[in-house]
Amino acid sequence: MGSEPIVTTLSSRAVPDRPLTGSSLIACYWAVTKPEVNFLVLITTFAGFALGSASEAQHISLPRLFNALLGTLLVAGGTAALNQYLERSFDAQMRRTARRPVAAGRIEPNSALIFGTALAVSGSIYLDLTSSPLASLLALLTLLSYLFLYTPLKRRTPLCVFVGTFPGAMPPIIGWAAVSSHLNMEAWLLYATLLLWQFPHFMAIAWMYREDYERAGYHMLPKGNATFAFVILQTILPLLALIPIGIVQGPARHAAIFECTGLVLGLGYLYFGLEFVFRRSRLAARRLLAASIIYLPALCVLKAVLR
| pLDDT confidence band for 4 (50 / 70 / 90) | very low
Q: What is the pLDDT of residues 7-27, one digit of tens each?
A: 333 333 444 445 566 788 899
Q: Is the pLDDT score of 90 beyond 60?
A: yes
Interior angle at CA 205, CA 199 and CA 206, nearest 5: 85
Report the predicted TM-score, pTM, of the whole model to 2 decimal places.
Answer: 0.89
- Contact by Cβ (8 Å): 138, 170: yes
Averaged confidence pLDDT in the chain: 90
Give the pLDDT confidence score for residue 32 in this predicted structure: 96
Q: What is the pLDDT of residues 110-160, one digit of tens each?
A: 999 999 999 999 999 999 999 999 999 999 999 999 999 999 999 999 999
Q: Is the dihedral of CA 239, 296, 135, 183 positive or negative?
A: negative
Q: Is the dihedral of CA 297, 298, 304, 305 positive or negative?
A: positive
Burial class from Cβ neighbours inside 10 Å (0-12, 13-18, 19+) for residue 198 reads: buried
Write down the domain spans for the chain.
10-305
Hey, what amino acid is at 287? R
Give the pLDDT confidence score for residue 224 in this predicted structure: 82
CA gap 195, 242 in Å, rounded? 9
CA gap 10, 14 in Å, rounded? 9
Q: Is the pLDDT score of 252 beyond 70?
A: no
Percent of the chain with pLDDT over 70: 92
Q: Is the pLDDT score of 280 beyond 60?
A: yes
CA gap 211, 143 in Å, rounded? 28
What CATH architecture does domain 10-305 belong to? Orthogonal Bundle (1.10)
Q: What is the pLDDT of residues 111-124, one digit of tens each?
A: 999 999 999 999 99
Q: What is the pLDDT of residues 174-227, one digit of tens each?
A: 999 999 988 999 899 999 999 999 999 999 999 999 999 998 999 999 988 888
| pLDDT confidence band for 56 (50 / 70 / 90) | confident
Radius of gyration of the chain (CA): 20
CA gap 178, 181 in Å, rounded? 8
Q: Is the pLDDT score of 240 beyond 90?
A: yes
